[in-house]
Chains A and B, each alone.
Chain A
Amino acid sequence: DGGITQSPKYLFRKEGQNVTLSCEQNLNHDAMYWYRQDPGQGLRLIYYSQIVNDFQKGDIAEGYSVSREKKESFPLTVTSAQKNPTAFYLCASIRRLVDGMNTEAFFGQGTRLTVV
């Protein structure tokens, strides 16, 4: 079955350590996104990528980094520069708009990161 997978579901790290969250999709989607969600809040866009080897900052990119070396993978690194990294992280993918076509976004089940 096609889908988008985030791993791990729960992640614990010590303060000051970098940590990388995995996001893989086998939907052949062009665009991928990373969001952060804090308790009781909506989703905030961290980074997004429309094509391989290209990505753009979202609204809260500071302290995060990404790469897009393969179409199916879009890992997110939470660096030690991120002041408040404990949050629920969500990855999404979507087929790029082409010739007026529009399709829905698919989301992973999220990774809950706790930094102690």
Chain B
Amino acid sequence: DAKTTQPNSMESNEEEPVHLPCNHSTISGTDYIHWYRQLPSQGPEYVIHGLTSNVNNRMASLAIAEDRKSSTLILHRATLRDAAVYYCILRYQGGKLIFGQGTELSVKP
């Protein structure tokens, strides 16, 4: 199974952009890249996903490298409510959703 690698933690200042990196060097051509975030004592919530092209939605942007071996979740203006653990995962055609350790994002006012 392909794995993802993320930094354990990152810090940001409120109102500034945040770039959360993810490496997935063994990704296969049919794996989708998903991002979820989890607040304490809650289930993860969906943020964004993509396959090859960059994606934007109301929550964030996803930039995918041309070789698909890495991706970056971009929060354009971090707020205190964005403090959470962010998970980058690959969705296999076989259906497994494998989570890594995630990146704990802290946002300073």
Contact = CB atoms under 8 A, between A and B. Distances in A.
Interface string B67-109: 0000000000000000001010001010111111110000000
B49 A109 contact: no
Q: Interface residues of A toward B: which range? A: 20 to 34
A89 to B, nearest CB: 10
Interface string B36-60: 1000011111100101000000000
Contacts, number: 62
B101 A110 contact: no
Contact of B101 (A41, A92, A107): A41
* Interface of A: prevailing SS: strand
A46 to B, nearest CB: 12
A77 to B, nearest CB: 20
Interface string A98-113: 0000101111111010
Interface of B: 32, 34, 36, 41-46, 49, 51, 85, 87, 91, 93, 95-102
28 contacts: A31-B95, A33-B97, A35-B99, A42-B87, A42-B101, A42-B102, A45-B99, A48-B96, A50-B95, A59-B98, A90-B44, A92-B97, A94-B91, A96-B95, A97-B91, A97-B95, A102-B32, A102-B51, A104-B34, A105-B34, A106-B46, A107-B36, A107-B45, A109-B43, A110-B41, A110-B42, A110-B43, A112-B41
